[in-house]
Structure 1
Amino acid sequence: MWELMQRLMKDEVLKDFVLVGGTALSLKIGHRLSVDIDLFRQDGFDAKELHIYLEDNYNAQSAHVFKNSVMTFIDDIKVDLISHQYPYLKPFETVEDVRLVSLEDIGAMKLLAIAQSGRRIKDFVDMYQLLEYNPLVVYLEGYARKYGANPIGARNAINDFNNVSSKQIMEYFPGKKEEWEKIIERLWHAKINIRTLFEPVRKEDYGIKPGNNKRRGFKI
């Protein structure tokens, strides 16, 4: 996965795309394994043309092509290339040739995903970890600036777990449901006191052994 990511990042055709989401966060803090690549850019692009390019140069398979988005598989790795036409809260950084959005941008995007859906357990896990780097108020303010939206809905959404299936919980925390309870508890406290910065947890709690993984939270 790391080799593919670096190849994509060095590709001149893809120079306007930046890594976002859980994989970007995993590279920054190493909190969980991530097995897909989400690449965003700020302006629109010709999705059909890009799809053909990816087929010809990366042997991309099983693609879904929509306006300003290509969702495909390369070497059995899920790769999404999407136009996300909202401003960056901070300049992106480059780590070993990989362009990454800031924690503030990731937090705002996670809040958007939770507010719009709230179905993916990994979004709540990521917010749980993000709260060790900035208090919730920072991400709520970023959400408001980035999307021009009232952050009250997002603040309430981080405590709405009704759309997270029990199957996801069992798969993500096999035999360790108490870890999910810890996430729920922290997010409840964050909603009540949005200026709280939380203490770090051990990475081992999420299957990560610091120092043993070549690329932090990457599955490679």
Structure 2
Amino acid sequence: MLQEQTVPGATFELLKILMKDEKLNKFYLAGGTAIALYLGHRTSIDLDLFSLEDFDNTELEFYLSQQYNFLTDNKARSTLKGSIEGVKIDFITFNTPLCEQIQNIGGIRLFSLQDIIAMKLLAIADNGTRLKDFIDIAYLSMQFSFDEMLSFVAYKFPNKNLQIYRKALLFHNDIYFDVPIQLTEKKYQWGKIAKRLDEMVTSPKKVFEHSPL
């Protein structure tokens, strides 16, 4: 069961409409909104839709603009970013091996948590500015050990040096801390999140019983 309360009603309704569109049946939800729907730990407002296949961004842009009044912000090869009725939406090709099969829960197609974890850790290693990525990984420590998370990375992104991800999880100097965070149950405290991240790296086989907060 998805934690629908973590996504604004209008955003979730739009997501359901897009999921029913046959022309978009090769796109699957990932990113922070997918994790929020799985875990229920924080609110999320953007939609990140990934495809395992390349797509024609001009053709998709035209269809979305005609059907949904899609407004384009940016496009590149197999990438289209914009908004529908104020909801930010990214359409991106991500054709790497799947750790687990695509999930379908209540008509919503999602990448598995295992695949999303690998993508989140890659984002942290490549960028490391987004506070939400670190918070999501900290909460996911209640589902998987850090060693398990690294195994997802190794499967999805072969030939990557896993030591990079250990270091990236503990490097916080580039994080934009002024981004508002709305957790669903407790008040956000960075110190406790950072402590959990450190514990994950120092005890990589441990699955934590309690929330980082």
Do the structures match in fold with TM over 0.5? yes
Please show how residues 1-220 of structure 1 align to structure 2 within 5 Å: 1-148=11-158, 149-168=160-179, 171-172=180-181, 179-201=189-211
Query: C-alpha displacement at 1:62, in angstroms?
Result: 3.6
Distance 2:102 2:178 in 1: 35
Contact 2:71/2:84, CA 8 A, preserved across alignment: yes
Structure 1, gaps ≥5 residues long: 206-220
Q: Secondary structure at the match of 2:41?
A: coil
TM-score (norm 2): 0.89
Q: 1:71 to 1:162 in 2, by over 3 A?
A: same
In 2, the alpha carbon distance for the partners of 1:68 and 1:52 equals: 14
Give 1:123 deviation, angstroms: 0.1
Aligned to 2:4: none
Matched pairs, number: 200
Once residues 178 and 69 of structure 1 are traced to their aligned partners in structure 2, the CA distance between those partners, rounded to angstroms, is 33
Summarize deviations over 1:88-108 as a string: whole Å, max 9, x none: 100011111000111111110
Secondary structure (helix, strand or coil) at the match of 1:167 reads: coil
Shift of 1:189: 0.9
Does the CA contact (< 8 Å) of 1:23 and 1:35 recur in 2? yes
CA contact (8 A) 2:50 2:91 kept: yes
Q: Deviations over 1:5-51 (max 9, x none)?
A: 01111111110111001111111111100000000011111001100
Partners of 2:57 and 2:147 lie apart in 1 by 36
Q: Give 1:193's aligned amino acid.
A: S
Task: Please give the root-mean-square deviation of Cα atoms over the aligned residues, in Å.
Answer: 1.8
Code of the aligned partner of 1:70:
L
Q: Taking structure 1 as the reference length, what is the TM-score of the superposition?
A: 0.86
Any conservation in 2 of the 1:24–1:100 contact (CA below 8 Å)?
yes
CA–CA distance in structure 2, aligned partners of residues 167 and 15 of structure 1: 36
Q: Which amino acid aligns with 2:123?
A: A
Structure of higher RCO (CA pairs closer than 8 Å, 6+ residues apart): 1
Q: State the 1:178 CA deviation.
A: 7.2
1: distance between equivalents of 2:161 and 2:24?
Answer: 33
Between the aligned residues of both structures, percent identity stands at 37
**What is the distance in 1 between the residues matched to 2:188 and 2:84?**
36
